[in-house]
């Protein structure tokens, strides 16, 4: 459903992505792995429309990606940004409802009922959010805010979820809870493009992966291919 063809990007004069080609299929979870500064966040911002490629093409279902971020969200591509960025003054419930803003704006009574069902589903996925539903999001722990940011994104019913380092700074147990939800998204029709430094964790829940260094894709393959390649493991995944 998503395809990047020979995409390049520069910040001012500094080129940071070089002819990147990458795809994410329907109901597929794909990870993008690489060190700090490799260009992962930049690549996601091109897909969510925060920046435009200098050259190359980004296609959604074979057609050019809509030009503006709002159009991209409306087309079903939603990003959970790095560092969470929940609305700290708003309650957990209000944050979740914000995720369904476009649906509520367009839809009638049936859509409002569907949004209420989805809200209940988010509380099943992340029970801790149910316990804190009326509290300001700013009172939540880092892990809870990450869950809220994911829940908010899922309230838009995305077809493709872009995740930027969801495990950053979180305790292993919280990371495991978040990764379990990510793993199950393709089975409910939501594809995933997951950027992670936790390579082993990401490969365990994704079908395929790409390895990017200094703005270039160096390797792509199934998670099993990447895990079984000794050189790749040593160079990119670190000691196991
Ligand atoms: P990290 O995990 O540290 O976020 P990353 O793989 O996501 O790393 P990017 O954040 O995409 O990497 O950065 C890619 C390159 O672009 C880096 O060299 C970075 O310094 C540079 N860069 C990122 N944002 C900007 C910006 N706004 N202006 C100029 N250079 C930038």
Q: Ligand 1 atom closest to Cα of 38?
A: 6
Q: Which of 35, 68, 77 is nearest to 197 (CA)?
A: 35
Q: Which residue bears the tokens 């409002």? A: 112
Pocket test for ligand 1, best of 32, 41, 210 (most atoms within 8 A of CB): 41
| Percent of the chain surpassing pLDDT 70 | 96
Q: Ligand 1 atom closest to Cα of 12?
A: 29
CA of 106 to the centre of ligand 1 (A): 36
CA of 42 to the centre of ligand 1 (A): 6
Q: Ligand 1 atom closest to Cα of 44?
A: 11
* pLDDT value of residue 210: 95
* pLDDT value of residue 35: 85
Which residues does a 6 A CB cutoff place in the pocket of ligand 1? Answer: 11, 14, 16, 34, 36-42
ipTM score here? 0.93
Residue nearest to ligand 1 atom 17, measured at CA: 37
Residue nearest to ligand 1 atom 16, measured at CA: 16
Each residue's pLDDT tens digit, 132-154: 999 999 999 988 999 999 999 99
Query: Which residues, given as ranges, of the chain have pLDDT below 70?
Result: 82-84, 235-240
Query: 192 near 161, Cβ under 8 Å?
Result: yes
* pLDDT value of residue 83: 61
Each residue's pLDDT tens digit, 77-98: 999 976 668 899 999 999 999 9
Pocket test for ligand 1, best of 13, 31, 39, 54 (most atoms within 8 A of CB): 39
């Amino acid at each position: 459903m998503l395809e990047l063809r020979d995409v390049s990007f520069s910040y001012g004069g500094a080129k940071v992505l070089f002819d990147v080609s990458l795809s994410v299929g329907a109901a597929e979870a794909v990870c993008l792995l690489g060190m700090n500064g490799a260009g992962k966040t930049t690549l996601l911002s091109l897909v969510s429309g925060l920046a435009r490629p200098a050259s190359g093409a980004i296609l959604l279902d074979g057609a050019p990606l809509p030009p503006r971020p709002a159009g991209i969200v409306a087309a079903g591509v939603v990003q959970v940004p790095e560092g969470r960025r929940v609305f700290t003054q708003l309650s957990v419930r209000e944050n979740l409802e914000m995720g369904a803003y476009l649906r509520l704006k367009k839809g009638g009574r049936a859509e409002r009922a569907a949004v209420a069902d989805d809200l209940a589903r988010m509380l099943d996925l992340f029970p801790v959010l149910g316990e804190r539903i009326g509290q300001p999001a700013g009172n939540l722990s880092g892990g809870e805010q990450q869950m809220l940011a994911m829940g908010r994104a899922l309230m838009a019913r995305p077809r493709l979820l872009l995740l930027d380092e969801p495990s950053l700074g979180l305790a292993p147990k919280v990371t495991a809870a978040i990764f379990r939800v990510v793993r199950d998204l393709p089975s409910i029709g939501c594809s995933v493009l997951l950027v992670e430094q936790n390579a082993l964790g990401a490969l365990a829940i994704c079908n395929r992966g790409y390895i990017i260094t200094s703005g270039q894709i160096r390797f792509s393959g199934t998670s099993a291919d990447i895990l079984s390649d000794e050189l790749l493991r040593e160079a990119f995944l670190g000691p196991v």
